[in-house]
Amino acid sequence: MTEIDPRPFVGEPLALDLLNTRWQEHGQLHDLLETPDGLRVWLSGHGLAERFPADGASLEAVRATRAALYAAVDRPGSDEAARPVDAILDHGRIRPVLTGAGPGERAEVTDPVWGAAWTAAHDYLRLLTTAADRIRLCDQPDCIRYFLDTSRNGTRRWCSMALCGNRAKAARHYARSRGTHG
């Protein structure tokens, strides 16, 4: 039986979802990656549980990748922040292949321990290539989740309208009503 992901917000691209394995709820910080079981939940959510191990060594590699991605997202364009991501990417490569269906690519990782970590770091490169300006941190002050803004005009502000958007709107309404009645 697969354990259910306890996070209130899932479904982002792999690299951003890795960042979202830490979240704040009711003022308390949670971390899905405290144990290999949490890693297994995260891997399962992305269809990676059969490909990569969920053991202590893999957990440490994925945690290192999460830290590197936090720095890279926080300081885009920084060579210093890019170096740890590059070090993770050194654990694998994309190999061009020819299949019966035509040209393709295959990921090759030097050590299975780094498989999930490398895959997340590689996904971050894909996001930078396709939508770097759409990677966002939620605008809700006490939210620490990241999302890919897929809105047509690129003005999405919250990780989730149901979670943080409604909270922000309720806070604005409360502030306005306090200002007119008090």
Strands 28-31 and 92-99: unpaired
The reported pLDDT for the residue numbered 131 is 94
- Per-residue pLDDT, averaged over 38-53, amounts to 96
Average of per-residue pLDDT values in the chain: 91
pLDDT band per the 50, 70, 90 thresholds, residue 162: confident
CB contact at 8 A, 121 and 15: yes
Structure confidence by residue, pLDDT tens digits, 65-94: 999 999 999 999 999 999 999 999 999 999
More confident residue, 179 or 26: 26
Percentage of the chain beyond pLDDT 70 is 90
Q: Is 30 exposed, middle or buried (0-12, 13-18, 19+ CB in 10 A)?
A: middle
The reported pLDDT for the residue numbered 94 is 96
